[in-house]
Amino acid sequence: MKNIVYVENKYFVAVTHNGFKLTNLETKEKHYLSFEDVEILIFDNSQCYLSAKVIEKCADNKIGLLFCDRGHSPLSVLESVYGQQNRFERLKCQLSASSKVKGRLWRKIIISKIINQAVCLEKIGTEKESTEVLKSMTKTVTDHDVHNNEACAARLYFKKLFGDDFKRGRTTDLENAGLNYGYAILRALIRRNLVLKGFEPSIGIHHASTENPFNLSDDIIEPYRPFVDYYVFKNILPTKHETLESDDRKNIIKVLLNKCVIDNHVMYLQDAIELTIDSFVSSIEAGSSGRIKLPTFIEGGD
C-alpha cells in the first residue's frame, strides 16, 4: 500500500533525484518522499507551491494530484491519460455495455451496500431487529433496484446510526460534514482509478445526471460509504466539535488505512478500491456481472 500525502501547511513541493522534497516555507523544515511510496498528493492549503517538475513526475509515476477548495473539499484531480493504449477500446466497451449487465451490476452493488450498512449498525451495537430488517431488504433487490430498496434502507440506517433528528444533506453539522468529506476523498480516488483504467467517469451504470461528471464514481462508491459512516461515528463524533476542523479532516483520510475483506482477502480500503475497479472493468469487457469484487467489513473487528 502506498501513502496518501496530505499537505496542510504552507509548503513548496519540488523534485529530487528519485522523489519529492517538501519544504515548510515557515519553519524551513524539509521532508523527503520517494516516488514509489506515494499514491496521491492532497493539497489543502491555497498557499502551497509546486514546481512543474512535480506534475511531470506525478504523470510518469501515476501519482495523483488532488487540490482542495477554500472549504477544504476536493476541487480538482489531475491524472494523465498519456500512454493509455487501450483507452479507446475501453471507452467502446463502456458505451456498449448492455442494460442487462448494468442492471445486474447495480443490484450487486446495492446488496453489498445494504449488507455493509447492517454490519455497521451491528458494530455500533444497534438492536438486532433493525439490522435484520436491513439484511432482509437485500433479498428483494432487483436488477436496476427498480423498487428503490437503497433509499428505503438508507432511511432506517441513518436514523439508527445518528439518531431520529439526523437528516442527510445538511452541510453544517459535524455528522454530515464528516460524511461529505470522507465521501469526497473516496470519490476522488475512485475517479482517478477509473481514468487510469481508461474509463470515462461521467458515464455511469445507474447514475445518469447530465450535470454530474462523476456518475460512474458515484456508482462504484456505494458499498464503500458505510466504511466512512462507521469511521465518522467512531472517530469524529466523539470529538464533540461544532464543525469539522483541520485535525478531523486529516483523521478522516485515515479511513483509507482501514481494512476490509474483498475477494476472500484482507486489504486496505485504498487497495480494495483498485481491485473493485479492476473487476468492474473485467465485468464490462466480458459482459458479465459475475466478475465484480466488492468489500465487506472484517467480521468481529475493524
Name which of 37, 40, 22, 23 is nearest 78 in CA terms: 40
222 annotated as a binding-site residue: yes
Distance CA 175, CA 178 (A): 5
Query: What are the CA-CA distances from residue 175 to residues 6, 76, 151 (Å)?
Result: 22, 24, 19
Q: In the Cβ-directed half-sphere of 59, how many Cα atoms lie within 13 Å? A: 11
Residue 150, annotated as binding a ligand = yes
C-alpha cell at 52: 512543474
Place of cell 432482509: 136
Give CA angle at 80 (46, 214), nearest 5°. 75
Measured between alpha carbons, how far is 100 from 102 in angstroms, rounded to an integer? Answer: 6
State the binding site.
Answer: 150, 207, 222
State the binding site for Mn(2+).
Answer: 150, 207, 222
